[in-house]
Amino acid sequence: MAAVLFDADALAVAERHGAESQFRWLATSDDPEAAALRAALQRGFALAGARGGELRKALEHERWGQHAGAIAHFLTLALLDAHGFEVRAEPSLGGQSPDILARRDGASLLVEVRAVTGAGSFPWEERRATGREISPEGRERLAQSLAVILQRKADTYRPLVERLAVPFVIALYEDKDTTVAPVACDLLYGRAEPRDDSRAAAGGAFGEAASGLAHVSAVLVFGRVDTPGGELLLRGELLENPRASVPLPPAARPERLRRYAVDGADRVRWHHAAATFRINPWKTPSE
């Protein structure tokens, strides 16, 4: 029988949390949004293998970003699975264990995951409640935070990626925020042309050899979408590195993500409209 993420032990932990606890809401609420998110996380848990127990413990702790980080990992596994990838959580690859090894149609992909929610000290929940946008100062703090996250992930896995010569993607989970992807675009490509939102392929951190991101094939930014009935819909952007040492092959591109990639004129631009997609929680990991 398949292991259950929100089993009796997890529910007992949730009951000990305070009334405002996100984990308590997630584990015990009859809210359709909570129920839909539970089902998607269960799918990710089924795919996590031996790492599932560690991620479940992290899900129960709301300090230091552990809760959001566990959600990010489970949903990234489910997202890749929904696009037909075979996934392995924390495979041992020559002394290093990236978060995910994904394979599809003969293409392999290494994925590192990080939750980036809150946009500094002015989280999206507060911005939505007040109707205020993130300030220029807050946007700059977010850009600096993203730069540090991407640099650390890139530095850690550079030896492995260069040795295996496989595409490497850093996945950033932004929950229901909508600020992370635009800030990441400015950081990675430079400022956009106002007329068509395109950028020069040689701009930004992706265009700078000193940035140390040449082996990063793409940055994937994804999150959840508000729905009237609380169903879970995900949406995401795949920000491809036009100067990647190992570019993403077509088989390694999740097709339901909005791609920002180079065109024939050596500029990067959006290649199709934004789309949303569902996670099927009822599949078995072998399907």
* Matching residue, tokens 């089993």: 7
| pTM (two decimals) | 0.93
Along the 287 residues of the chain, how does pLDDT read in single tens digits?
A: 568 999 999 999 999 998 888 899 999 999 999 999 999 999 999 999 999 999 999 999 977 678 999 999 999 999 999 999 999 999 999 889 999 999 999 999 999 999 986 445 456 666 677 777 778 888 888 899 999 999 999 999 999 999 999 999 999 999 888 889 999 999 999 988 877 788 989 999 999 989 999 999 999 999 999 888 989 999 999 999 999 999 999 999 998 999 999 998 889 999 877 778 888 765 544 44
Please give the Cα distance from 4 to 199 (Å, whole number).
Answer: 46
Which residues share a beta bridge with 115?
173
Crossing angle of the two packed helices 66-82 and 52-59, in degrees rounded to 10: 130
Crossing angle of the two packed helices 32-47 and 66-82, in degrees rounded to 10: 70
* Cβ atoms within 10 Å, residue 122: 20
CB 217 within 8 A of CB 240: yes
Q: What is the pLDDT of residue 286?
A: 43
Please give the Cα distance from 279 to 63 (Å, whole number).
Answer: 27
Please give the Cα distance from 269 to 261 (Å, whole number).
Answer: 6
Q: What is the pLDDT of residue 207?
A: 93
